[in-house]
A = this chain, B = another copy of it.
Amino acid sequence: MAKTQKDPTESRLTFGRRLREERQKRGMTLEDLAEASGITWSYIAQVEVGRRNISVDNMHLLAAGVGVALRELL
């Protein structure tokens, strides 16, 4: 499928906002979550502000990294 630049969906923005909330609630830094998930902190930072159209597998890793089920971040 062609990769076109469209407006981010509501789900993308919700995931980013909820991920940041859960990360901060646990007192985790971006570096802490990077270590826990195996995803770079710079990528996570962009995900949190909705700048990346993240894949389901990486969403799963980040949810596990903060210790919640993925559905709780959506």
Residues of chain A touching chain B, judged by Cβ–Cβ distance below 8 Å, are: 1, 6, 8-12, 15, 39-40, 43, 53-57, 59-61, 63, 69-71, 74
Copy total for this chain: 2
Task: Known contacts A71-B74, A74-B70; decide if A56 and B11 are in contact (CB<8 Å).
Answer: yes
Task: Known contacts A53-B55, A55-B54, A70-B74; decide if A1 and B40 are in contact (CB<8 Å).
Answer: yes
Residues of B within 8 A of A74 (CB): 69-71, 74
Minimal Cβ-Cβ distance residue in B for A39:
B1
In the assembled complex, the CB of A6 is this many whole angstroms from the nearest CB of chain B, namely 7
Within the assembled complex, what's the spacing in Å between the Cα atoms of A33 and B51? 27
Residues of B within 8 A of A70 (CB): 11, 74
